[in-house]
């Protein structure tokens, strides 16, 4: 007797306009199949994260895995060749898919790739989750436009001028509580991936591209293996050739930095490359070494640039690893938002962007990120100067690079120290970002920088670390919970417009910055405050 057909997920949310176009019975059945097959393994891997963190706390050390040394030493294997649409990635723009105007502007930006974000740059309200799926579906069907309040209409350029979409689903740790199967919420990663893949994989192939993904918050090669198994299952389910899916992994956790080759190996038939993300990487270092002593206390977040020795070790190892295995190495974010009022501020900031992108291109990166369309030509010029007519520089194997386990966490090479201005900035940015996130806006311009959840994570983590380490600031003042509360109250009074979200943001920042038990992700308690 055959088993009964599995039920589709239950939708536990107020209806959103046009959601029936996304939540078809067939698409929901696919999401249910993903959930039943892969969520138990997801749960096991989250438990392994906790075990690994406990081991780091016990030893204060981390290293390259001995069990996979033979794989790293094997010179033979490579990832699959890049598809034509991902061969040249010299400039990539990032932004949330839930914003319709931003969707059009990103596709029209002149960047080679648009990272269409369902993760750190998106506040996962149910409306945003559905709207992001609809915006991408509408864009591929060329039925998307946007009319601003002033009457200006935004529409797509010809197909050959549009950026290639690489979609970023949520990380493994986040659930989508509005979709449940067998009484359990579906992991946000599987909900985002499943709905997008089901509706768009074949359509993208028909357009000469494919279902391409950025994988966030990966902490080990076992998590990459899980994603690979998801891809294999999805392609079989849809009747698509294996290797149709391509994935770029963000190396934004310190544990993943020690397993770059293993991550590429697990995804080798589906891998496109690796990316270096600064804020999440620093957040991960604090999270894992938060109680490892003064040697792991970071100074002001803006003082830790990509030229810091331990950050240079991380990025150079990424380039070396990617090119050794035939993958793209994608550099970090230029988050500056040009000011229409202050040309001097613009020029000073653009000079820093040029220096950063010139360094990345010179180091061997094949492309890099920007947060605003005005930065696309700036970054492109830097990479054009190095690449010329070549689509990438994977031939630069960087065999001169030899990075030790110790160099990746040599935080004592930093000359800067925590400052009172840095503490206030962490509070300011943390409150402002969380307030916006609670209103459903996940990409926020704060002090001329485009910020996402990673900014709030590093800000609150530094506050937690400085309090618990008893850091003394440049003013001679010791960082205490009382000091953080005092500064937070001042900033709330300065920014509060009377809406409830400001007080919520203030209270949540203090909770995740001052609670004795460190919250792994601030977005977990924050999600409980969303509709």
Burial 133-163 (b: 16+ CB within 10 A, else e): bbbbbbbbeeebebeeeeeeebebeeeeebb
In the set 168, 278, 301, 325, the catalytic residue is 168
Can you tell me the distance from the alpha carbon of 52 to that of 387, in angstroms, rounded to the nearest whole number?
40
Do 70 and 311 contact (CB within 8 A), yes or no? no
Residue with tokens 């070396």: 320
Helix (H) or strand (E) holding 429: helix 420-438
Q: How far apart are CA 227 and CA 213, in angstroms?
A: 11
Catalytic residue among 175, 300, 356, 452: 452
Is 389 an active-site residue?
Answer: no
DSSP state of 308: S
Within 8 A by CB and 6+ apart from 222, the residues are 45, 48, 266
Euclidean distance between CA atoms 405 and 70, whole angstroms? 17
> How far is the first Cα of the chain from the last one, in angstroms, to the nearest whole number?
43
CA pair distance 45, 253, nearest whole angstrom: 15
List the one residue out of 243, 238, 236, 244 whose CA is nearest residue 205: 244
- The DSSP string of 192-217 is HHHHHHHHHHHHHHHTT---EEEE-S
- Specify whether the CB–CB gap between 253 and 281 falls below 8 A: yes
Spatial contact of 290 and 465, defined as CB atoms under 8 Å apart: yes
Which residues fall within 8 angstroms of residue 295, CB to CB, at 6 or more apart? 411, 412
Q: Are the C-beta atoms of 217 and 172 separated by less than 8 Å?
A: yes
CB 227 within 8 A of CB 190: no
- Catalytic residue flag (residue 98): no
How far, in Å, CA of 398 to CA of 320, rounded?
Answer: 5
Rounded Cα–Cα distance for residues 105 and 93 (Å): 10
- Number of Cβ within 10 Å of residue 481's Cβ equals 15
* Cα 214 to Cα 21, 205, 361, 448, distances in angstroms: 24, 18, 21, 26
**DSSP three-state, residue 179:** strand
What residues contact residue 412 under an 8 Å CB cut-off, 6+ apart? 295
If you write DSSP's letter for every residue of 217-244 in order, what string do you get? S--SHHHHHHHHHHHHHHHHHHTPPTT-
C-beta separation of 213 from 224 below 8 A: no
- Show which residues are catalytic: 168, 452
């Amino acid at each position: 007797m055959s088993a009964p057909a599995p039920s589709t997920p239950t939708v536990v949310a107020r209806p959103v306009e046009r959601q029936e176009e996304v939540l078809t019975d067939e698409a929901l059945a696919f999401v249910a199949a993903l959930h039943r097959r892969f969520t138990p393994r997801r749960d096991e891997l989250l438990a392994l994260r906790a075990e690994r963190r406990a081991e780091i706390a016990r030893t204060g050390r981390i290293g390259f895995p001995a069990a996979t040394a033979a794989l790293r030493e094997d010179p033979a294997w490579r990832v699959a060749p890049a598809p034509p649409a991902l061969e040249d990635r010299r400039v990539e723009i990032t932004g949330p898919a839930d914003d319709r105007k931003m969707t059009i502007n990103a596709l029209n930006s002149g960047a080679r790739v648009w990272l269409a974000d369902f993760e750190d740059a998106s506040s996962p309200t149910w409306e945003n989750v559905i709207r992001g799926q609809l915006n991408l579906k509408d864009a591929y069907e060329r039925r998307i436009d946007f009319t601003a309040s002033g009457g200006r209409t935004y529409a797509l350029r010809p197909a050959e001028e549009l950026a290639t979409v690489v979609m970023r689903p949520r990380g493994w740790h986040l659930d989508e509580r509005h979709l449940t199967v067998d009484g359990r919420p579906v992991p946000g990663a599987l909900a985002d991936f499943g709905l997008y893949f089901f509706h768009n994989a074949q359509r993208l192939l028909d357009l000469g591209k494919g279902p391409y993904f950025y994988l966030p918050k990966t902490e080990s090669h076992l998590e990459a293996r899980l994603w690979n198994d998801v891809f294999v299952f999805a392609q079989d389910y849809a009747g698509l050739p294996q290797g149709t899916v391509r994935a770029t992994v963000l190396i934004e956790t310190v544990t993943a930095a020690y397993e770059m080759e293993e991550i590429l190996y697990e995804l080798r038939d589906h891998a496109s490359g690796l990316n270096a993300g600064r804020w999440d990487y620093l957040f991960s270092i604090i999270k894992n070494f938060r109680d490892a002593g003064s040697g792991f206390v970071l100074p002001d977040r803006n003082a830790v640039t990509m030229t810091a020795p331990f950050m240079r070790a991380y990025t150079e190892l990424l380039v070396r690893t990617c090119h050794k295995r035939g993958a793209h190495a994608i550099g970090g974010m230029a988050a500056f938002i040009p000011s229409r009022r202050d040309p001097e501020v613009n020029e000073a900031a653009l000079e820093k962007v040029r220096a950063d992108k010139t360094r990345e291109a010179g180091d061997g990166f094949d492309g890099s990120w920007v947060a605003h369309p005005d930065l696309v030509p700036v970054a492109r010029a830097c990479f054009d100067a190095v690449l010329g007519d070549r689509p990438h520089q994977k031939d630069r194997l960087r065999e001169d690079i030899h990075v030790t386990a110790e160099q990746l966490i040599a935080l004592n090479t930093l000359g800067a120290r925590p400052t009172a201005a840095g503490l206030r900035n962490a509070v300011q940015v943390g409150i402002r970002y969380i307030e916006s996130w609670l209103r459903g806006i996940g990409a926020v311009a704060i002090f001329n920088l485009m910020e996402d959840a990673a900014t709030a994570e590093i800000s609150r983590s530094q506050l937690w670390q400085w309090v618990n380490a008893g850091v003394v600031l440049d003013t001679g003042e010791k960082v205490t919970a009382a000091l953080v509360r005092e500064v937070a109250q001042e900033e709330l009074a300065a920014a509060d417009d009377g809406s409830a979200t400001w007080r919520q943001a203030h209270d949540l920042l203090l909770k995740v910055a001052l609670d004795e038990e460190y919250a792994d992700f601030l977005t977990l308690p924050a999600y409980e405050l969303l509709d």
